[in-house]
Amino acid sequence: MRNFSLLAGLVLWLTMDVSSLLGELICPLPVIENGRLLQQAKEYRENDVLHFSCNRGFRRTEDRPSKCTKVGMRAEWSPMPECEPAKCRVELPPLEGTTYASTLKNVYYPGETLNVTCGEGFWISSPQDTFAETTCDDDGQWTIRPVCQEFFCSNQREYNVRWWNVWRNQQIRLGDTARYQCVTGYKSPDGSNVAKCTRNGWEPKPLCQEITCPRLEVENAIHPDVYKQSYRNDDWVTYRCMEGFTGRPTRTCGQNGWTGDSQCTVNQKPGFLAVSYQKPFLQSPQIGLMLVWQCSP
Ligand SMILES: *[C@@H]1O[C@H](CO)[C@@H](O)[C@H](O)[C@H]1NC(C)=O
């Protein structure tokens, strides 16, 4: 046996030597346990990459590509093209905000599951989720990365927010609040002008809503717009009074709805003049005479 390996070594050395003498380094074709070559070249020279993949349930020991590399006088594969049983790992103790159902092991095999729970202010899978059941797949990858992310609200100002007390790169966590003001024509929907960071993002949503006023009818007046149903900030409407009424009511749309209170009032109808008088006085009216009259309804 010993003699044989000595001989093999000698042959190997000789071939290496010959190829290196020729200025060529050739890597031996590897045999990959639990894996296979994806394409096979006739010979592999320095810097050639070996394309191989591992069988189901196995994964490459190294993620780096295996390259034919010169080592001293010889050429060999680096890293060695090898496959190992696939497994998933978790970091123990888990990162801040992450809790595992089991903290006894940190290596899991394909098919095994792990329950992950996130702390207040953290999320997994989607910003609304604080729990996930993740499975180690055949490639040794978790179906869901078992790490909770800290929740942040966007620090980008919405286009219709004129100003808010959030700095450009400020990190805003769940429950944080900010005061803000809307651009002209927009208002805070709840009137508070305070934004709060929630799992659904900033609330109220949207922070600034367009100021609109629904169509308004004024008593005894004719609306100048036949169909218009909605008005914007600073829009104003001048009404025409109905027959028998006078006035020129005007309403202006603003942040708190319509303003203005002018009305159409009833025309003074001509009535019958009922004058009560005493004949003698009328016959010879005198200065200082007081005349009392009354309009009939
Ligand atoms: C993980 O959570 C699921 C759903 O709540 C539950 O059915 C399962 O038993 C849990 N598994 C472990 C290992 O705790």
Give the lowest-confidence range in 42-51, 140-149, 173-182, 238-247. Answer: 42-51
Place of tokens 């006035």: 247
What is the predicted pLDDT for the residue at 174?
A: 95
Stretch 269-285: mean pLDDT, rounded? 55
Residue closest to 137 by CA, chosen among 59, 66, 202: 59
- Atom 4 of ligand 1 has which residue's CA nearest to it? 133
For residues 204 and 207, give the distance between their C-alpha atoms in angstroms, rounded to a whole number: 5
Our mutation pick for probing the ligand 1 site, out of 100, 113, 117, 118, counting the most ligand atoms within 8 A of Cβ, is 113
Within 6 Å (CB) of ligand 1, which residues are found?
101, 115, 133
- What CATH superfamily classification does 25-85 receive? Complement Module, domain 1 (2.10.70.10)
* Percentage of residues of the chain with pLDDT beyond 90: 66
Average pLDDT for the chain = 86
Give the lowest-confidence range in 158-172, 195-209, 227-241, 264-278. Answer: 264-278
CATH number of 161-210: 2.10.70
Following DSSP, what letter does each residue of 8-73 receive, concatenated?
HHHHHHHHHHHHHHTT--EEPPP--TTEEESS--S-EETT-EE-EEEPTTEEES-SSPEEEEEETT
CATH code 2.10.70.10 for 212-266: yes
What is the predicted pLDDT for the residue at 272?
A: 52
| CA of residue 136 to ligand 1 center, whole Å | 15
More confident residue, 163 or 104: 163
Q: DSSP secondary-structure letter at 136? A: B
| CA of residue 147 to ligand 1 center, whole Å | 17
CATH of 88-150, one of 3.90.1560.10, 3.40.50.2000, 2.10.70.10, 1.10.150.530: 2.10.70.10
Please tell me the pTM assigned to this model. Answer: 0.59
For residues 146 and 134, give the distance between their C-alpha atoms in angstroms, rounded to a whole number: 7
